[in-house]
Chains A and B, each alone.
Chain A
Amino acid sequence: MRIPCPCCGARGNEEFTYLGPAGLTRPAPDASEDAWHAYMHERENPAGMHRELWWHGQGCRAWIVVTRDVRTHRIEHAALARDPEAAR
């Protein structure tokens, strides 16, 4: 796969480390067990478009939010995780 890094351009996926779904909101420390359990463990794991976190560890070290169809691996969008636009 080629991951379109917003800093470095398209790079081979071997330069990146994958973490999992993006956009999960880390609960407040005093949030309920359910909220923490959902955040930590429960995954939608859709067979379709997926917003996910990749780390360009062998490049610019940016965390990137990639929107990708996990059935075809087609990438629709990539943005920096720290960019508020991407966090939408």
Chain B
Amino acid sequence: MTTVHGTAQPFRLAAGGLIDRTQLLSFTFDGRRLTGHAGDTLAAALLANGIHLVGRSFKLHRPRGVVSAGPEEPNALVELRTGARREPNTRATTAALFDGLAAASQNRWPSLRFDAMAVNGLFAPLFAAGFYYKTFMWPAAFWERVYEKLIRRAAGLGRAAEAPDPDHYEKAHLHCDVLIIGAGPAGLMAARAAARAGARTVLIEEDERLGGRALAEAMEIDGMPAARWVEAVEAELAAAPRCRILRRTAAYGLFDHGTVGAVERVADHLPEPPAHLPRQRAWRIVARRIVVAAGAIERPIVFAGNDRPGVMLAGAVRAYVHRYAVRPGRRAVVFTAGDDGWRTVSALAAADVDVVAVVDPRPDIPPALRAEAARAQAQVITGTVVGTVGRHRLAAVDWRDARGEVTRMQADLLAVSGGWNPSIHLACHLGARPRWDEAARGFLLDTPPAGVTLAGAAAGRGTLAAALADGLAAGVAAARDCGFSPVPADPPRAEDEPRDGIALFHVPGHGKAFVDLQNDVTADDIALAHREGYRSVEHLKRYTTLGMATDQGKTASVPGIAIMAELTGRGIEGTGTTTFRPPWTPVAIGALAGPHRGRDFRPTRRTPTHAWAAAHGASFVEVGPWLRAQWYTRRGETRWQETVAREVRAVREAVGVCDVSTLGKIEVVGPDAATFLDFVYANTISTLRAGRIRYGLMLREDGFVLDDGTVARLAEDRFFITTTTANAGRVMQHLEHAHQVLRPELDLAMLSVTDAWAQLSIAGPRSRELLAALLDPGTDIADGALPHMAATSGSVGGVPVRLYRLSFSGERAYEIGIPPDYGTALMERIMQVGERFGVTPYGTEALGVLRIEKGHPAGGELNGHTTAGDLGLARLVSTRKECIGGHMAKRPALADPDRPALVGLKPRDGRSDIRAGSHLLSPGAAETSDNGEGYVTSACVSPTLGHPIALALLRRGPARIGETVRVYDALRGGDTLAEVCAPVFVDPEGGRTRG
């Protein structure tokens, strides 16, 4: 192979690679216009252009270059894209190149080559691990005002976008028999075996291409180049009817019971997502068997100056040569502690790179490897690399021989291999603890969770042949576990020579030797942590920040642990590793949020008359998940208070109509329904006659009030009960529990019918007249036939309706239930026939005012802190029967006569506002918690009375009618005196309700 010379991609090899040379893509890096090819990653394209300096480190701002060719990349992080699509900390090694891509380096000022913050390097001796815990404490006030500001500005890497993300996201679910994570040789074999057996098979691969390491190495499988073999298997899988392949999809987490979270980068390789596609798709995959074939990650060796741009992992060097046809340098040194690193020699030689030397600490190098080096005219050195030279790029490498003599040689590329760490991370997410294996020189997982198998390099298989055989076995076993009968097959032929090596993590020496490249954690930092007693892996991690950068320590953790193990003498097994948790790779927050953003964050529930209300001037208010009409503004009304006052007056003086469909509605049916309701309500229900309605109060088992509503007995064995809007779900759950768990012997069934009825309230002195005009003939609604708290049925325009005479407003009132599809029609009919009675639609605000005027407890009072006694409802609680909450309500603190109880308040001056959330004090008492006597629960201006009124819970309140209390609202600058009064402001005798 020879190099194409010229300005465009000077380090692109003339032939080879898996890139599409017919597609020339243009992109920019720090504003510089460059080109690459389809199939490149950003890192590959940068290297093809000879750009090695790509970033600055977190703390010391040292120049950094591309280290890897995959998701483990610690250094090559960029801000990808611009404006609202800016993505900080994006790994150039996984970002697919697209035409028009714009990338910028991070954490430098004013430019990448001349970074003023590099001055930090001079203070490096000061910035040792945990230095901030020891200083910045004096003077005390300076921490937040000065030091912390500086630290925050210096910290962080890239910048978040400043505008909402314009792209959209999807969530999707997938169920399968066998899920294979990773489409390298082992994963492909597993998938093929499972698919051939007929199992529903899903194969997911983080990369855009299947093949894994096979794409990066010059290897053969079944006598053909590995990449060609991959294509053949891929074609078979694509044609298999029950197999699905998800490319560009990273499994980020393994959760309980075979649940895997994965994110598919649907459109990240495009300039922007086409309109019909999401940017990313979050998959929740539920699999009966999972094969983790995630491969392995090469381990660097820690030595002085190992962070210089041009120092790369050997496997990454080979990936750039073989997959991307990039020449990663001109003069290379290979530093390896095992046979595997020697592969790099021939790869580089073929790419027209001078391999000056192979440095290997082992004295007995196999002759075959020596011969390979000889072919490449590379010197074989028994020794270690102890230092590097260069500013923005590697210029020379220092190596030390067995006698301690140090020699320098010129090189712009240093390929390093310290062995391979199996990628067991995902399989550990459920808490399985890995074990250090001396033979494999890596952490292995012997006991993966039930249903999960590791295969291939992830299971520590050292050779291609072993990985292929292992994948096949894993796929066969997984399919068999799911009840399929796999077809016997032999694994393909491939290289099977064991690759020997030694464990070499750290070469002691002078100068900064980096363990965690991104967080600038050095071997000296680990020694300091050791000296200070931060010796457990968790302390080490948290004190030094080792492994806490965006690469999650994929390359740094094991060397760091090994260095600590050496210092403590406990060995790596005795030191252990930190826990692997999701995510395996960082995941966009937006991907997991999916479509649930903005107005679609949660579903919006609309009442049956919503559209009608909108067309009639309604403003809407959020009530839990519901949107309800808050008021109906008429032309000429400028303040909402004016509107609400008009609506309230209409109800008090004529008739109003309000959609109350949001109330929870439950039908309870069965021979034991009455017995059951006696048990769940504090008051007695069973004595209610059919056709009658009763107020019902529910307690929690701990004796506090849960909810209130009405109970209509439609027939001997049939009840229709309502709950408050807020508690509808919780009450349903509570009742099902009371039945299925506490009283399973009772013969009844219940059903939520909240959505089965549009329910409109017609309230006001003229409501009966309106109703009479509305109903089809045949229903007797005279007070004798349908008194207050009675129910009947009828029809409107031939549509059957239910009628409940009950009142929240204190006026004569009826609720009409009709199937929801007729809700709007009913509303229109009511408005039409009601016109002559002055019918007025009213919203939740007027509803609230009406009920405060009547002293009915609602959300402000049913706040979970109140007892029946607090609400003045003690007399309701039957002592003659058992009910939920009845026993615990007798506890001393709940029965304490000193408890705050419901009262009304009126401003002493007749006009000052009283606001809910204010506290009550005795006039003249100091403003302390101890002097607090209660609080305002609901407040409004009463149009009926012409002044503000409020409901409050006041200590011994009912005994203090006529007294004056101070209404304390320091938060909103309110402070006024109020008279304590009974909580029913309008028609305390209830004559208006009964008509």
Q: Chain B residue with minimal CB distance to A53? A: B741
Which A residues are in CB contact (< 8 Å) with B886?
A: 29
Binds A, one of B364-372, B690-698, B732-740: B732-740
Instruction: From known contacts A2-B286, A75-B257, infer whether A19 and B888 are also in contact, taking CB-CB under 8 Å.
Output: no
Within 8 A of B (CB), among A30-88: 31, 36, 40, 53, 55, 57, 61-63, 72-75, 80-82, 87
B619 → chain A closest CB, angstroms? 32
B737 near A36 with CB under 8 A, answer no
> Restricting to B677-716, which residues have a CB under 8 Å from any CB of A?
701-702
**CB-defined contacts of A75 to chain B, threshold 8 Å:** 257
B744 CB-CB contact with A under 8 Å? yes
Chain B 732-775 per-residue mask, 1 if CB under 8 angstroms from chain A, else 0:
11001101111010000000000000000000000000000000
Measured between beta carbons, the chain B residues less than 8 angstroms from A27 are 887
In the complex, whether B241 has a CB less than 8 A from a CB of chain A is no
* Per-residue contact bits, chain B 21-50, to A (CB 8 Å; 1 contact, 0 not): 000000000000000000000000000000
**A17 and B733: CB pair below 8 A?**
yes
Complex CA distance for A75 and B257, rounded to whole angstroms = 9
Q: Is B259 an interface residue (CB 8 A)?
A: yes
Q: For the complex, what is the distance from the CA of A61 to the CA of B888, rounded to whole Å? A: 27
A57 close to B744 (CB less than 8 A): no
Partner of B257, one of A29, A55, A73: A73
A74 to chain B, nearest CB (A): 7
Q: Are A61 and B702 in contact, CB atoms less than 8 angstroms apart?
A: no
B16 an interface residue at 8 Å Cβ cutoff?
no
Nearest CB in chain A: distance from B994 CB, A:
35
Tell me whether A55 and B701 are in contact in the complex, defined as CB-CB below 8 angstroms, given that A26-B742, A36-B887, A74-B450 are known contacts: no
Query: Does B590 lie at the interface of the complex (its beta carbon under 8 Å from any beta carbon of A)?
Result: no
Given contacts A2-B256, A73-B257, A75-B257, contact A63 B737 (CB under 8 A): yes
- Count of A-B contacts with CB under 8 A? 56
Known contacts A55-B736, A63-B740, A81-B741; A29/B259 CB under 8 A:
no
Judged by a CB distance under 8 angstroms, whether B990 is at the interface is no
- The answer, yes or no, to whether B838 is at the interface (CB within 8 Å) is no
Residues of B in contact (CB 8 Å), total 26
Within 8 A of A (CB), among B873-912: 882, 886-888
Please tell me if A10 contacts chain B, counting CB pairs below 8 Å. Answer: yes
| B582 in contact (CB, < 8 A) | no
Interface residue from A29, A74, A81 paired with B744 (Cβ < 8 Å):
A81
Q: Are B702 and A55 in contact (CB under 8 A)?
A: no
In the complex, what residues of B have CB within 8 A of residue A87's CB?
744
> Cβ of A82: which chain B residues have Cβ within 8 Å of it?
739-741, 744
Whether the Cβ atoms of A81 and B740 lie closer than 8 Å is: yes
Residues of chain B within 8 A (CB-CB) of A74 are 450
Cβ proximity bits A4-42 to B, threshold 8 Å, 1 near / 0 not: 000000101000010100100011010100001000100
Interface string of B330-362 (1 = CB under 8 A from A): 000000000000000000000000000000000
**CB-contacts of B239-290 with A (<8 A):** 255-259, 284, 286
* A5 to B258 alpha-carbon distance, docked (Å): 16
**B625 within 8 Å of A (CB atoms):** no
- Min CB distance B495 to A, Å, is 40
Q: Are B256 and A1 in contact (CB under 8 A)?
A: yes
Q: State A8–B217 Cα separation when bound (angstroms).
A: 49
Q: Which of A2, A19, A31, A80 contacts B259 (CB 8 A)?
A: A2
CB <8 Å contact, A1 and B257: yes
* Cross-chain contact B257 with A63 (CB below 8 angstroms): no
CA A26 to CA B739, docked complex, whole Å: 13
CB distance from A15 to the nearest CB of B (A): 12
Contact A40 B701 (CB under 8 A): yes
8 Å CB contact of B737 from A2, A31, A40, A55: A55
Is there contact, CB below 8 Å, between B733 and A55?
Answer: yes
Q: Which B residue's beta carbon lies closest to that of A35?
A: B887
Min CB gap B53→A, angstroms: 47
- Give min CB distance, B174 to chain A, whole Å: 13
Residue of A nearest to B750 (CB): A61
Q: Which residues of A contact B257 (CB under 8 A)?
A: 1-2, 10, 73, 75
Residues of B within 8 A of A17 (CB): 733
Looking at the assembled complex, report how far the CB atom of B290 sits from the nearest CB atom of chain A, in whole angstroms. 13
- CB B254 to nearest CB in A, in angstroms, measures 12
Q: CB of B121 within 8 A of chain A?
A: no
A9 to B702, CA, bound (A): 34
- In the complex, A74→B266 CA distance in Å? 34
Contact indicator A29/B431 (Cβ below 8 Å): no
Q: Does B988 contact A (CB under 8 A)?
A: no
User: Hey, which chain A residues are within 8 Å of B736, CB to CB?
Assistant: 55, 61, 63
Is B498 an interface position by the 8 A CB rule? no
A29 x B882 contact (CB < 8 A): yes
Q: A40: which of B256, B739, B742, B888 is its contact (CB, 8 Å)? A: B888
Cα separation A1 to B258 with both chains bound (whole Å): 8
Which chain B residues border A2 with CB–CB below 8 Å? 256-259, 286
Query: Is B860 interfacial (CB 8 A cutoff)?
Result: no
Q: A22: which B residues are within 8 A, CB to CB?
A: 741
User: B797 on the interface (CB 8 Å rule)?
Assistant: no
| Proximity string of chain B (401-426) to chain A, C-beta cutoff 8 Å, 1 when within and 0 when not | 00000000000000000000000000
**Which A residues touch B744, using CB under 8 A?**
81-82, 87
Q: B703's closest neighbor in chain A, by CB? A: A40
Interchain CB contact under 8 A, B741 and A29: no
Q: Which residue of B lies closest to A87 (CB)?
A: B744
Nearest-CB residue, chain A, relative to B883: A29
A62 touches B740 (CB 8 A): yes
B729 at interface, CB cutoff 8 A: yes
With A2-B258, A29-B886, A75-B257 as known contacts, state yes or no: A40 contacts B733, CB within 8 Å: no
A1 to B882: give the CA distance in the assembly, Å: 38
Shortest Cβ distance from A25 into B: residue: B742
Question: Residues of B contacting A61 with CB < 8 Å?
Answer: 732, 736
Taken together as a complex, chains A and B put the C-alpha atoms of A24 and B272 apart, in Å, by 57
Assembly CA distance A42 to B256 (angstroms)? 28
On whether the beta carbons of B741 and A63 are closer than 8 Å, the reply is yes
> Once bound together, how far apart are the Cα atoms of A40 and B729, in whole Å?
22
A69 to chain B, nearest CB (A): 11
Question: What residues on A are CB-neighbors of B701 within 8 Å?
Answer: 40
Residues on A with C-beta less than 8 A from B887 are: 27, 29, 31, 36
**Closest residue on chain B to residue A57 by CB atoms:** B733
Report the separation of the CA atoms of residues A82 and B729 in the bound assembly, to the nearest whole angstrom. 21
Does the CB pair B256–A19 fall under 8 Å?
no
B779 to chain A: closest CB distance in Å?
Answer: 34
Q: A1-B257, A62-B740, A81-B741 are in contact. Are A36 and B733 (CB under 8 A)?
A: no
CB-CB under 8 A from A73, the residues of chain B are 256-257
Contacts of B740 in A (CB 8 A): 62-63, 80-82
Give the distance to chain A from B198, nearest Cβ to Cβ, in Å.
22
Q: How far is the CB of B864 from chain A (nearest CB, A)?
A: 16
Residues of B within 8 A of A72 (CB): 430-431
A30 and B887 alpha carbons, distance in the complex (Å): 8
C-alpha gap A10/B744 in the complex (Å): 24
A55-B736, A57-B729 known; A36+B888 contact, CB < 8 A? yes
A-chain residues with CB within 8 Å of residue B258 when the two chains form the complex: 2
Shortest beta-carbon distance from A13 to chain B in Å = 8
Q: Are B737 and A19 in contact (CB under 8 A)?
A: yes
Taking CB atoms and an 8 Å cut-off, the chain B residues in 824-865 that contact chain A are: none
Binding site for B on A (CB under 8 A): 1-2, 10, 12, 17, 19, 22, 26-27, 29, 31, 36, 40, 53, 55, 57, 61-63, 72-75, 80-82, 87
Taking A2-B286, A57-B732, A75-B257 as known contacts, 13 extra A-B pairs with beta carbons closer than 8 A to each other, sorted by chain A number, are A1-B255, A1-B257, A2-B258, A12-B284, A19-B737, A29-B882, A31-B887, A55-B737, A63-B740, A81-B741, A82-B740, A82-B741, A82-B744
Query: Can you give 20 A-B contacts (C-beta < 8 A)?
Result: A1-B257, A1-B259, A2-B259, A2-B286, A12-B259, A19-B737, A22-B741, A29-B882, A29-B887, A31-B887, A36-B887, A40-B701, A40-B702, A53-B741, A55-B733, A55-B736, A62-B740, A63-B740, A80-B740, A82-B741
Shortest Cβ-Cβ A-B pairs, 7 listed: A2-B257, A82-B744, A63-B740, A1-B256, A29-B882, A82-B740, A73-B256
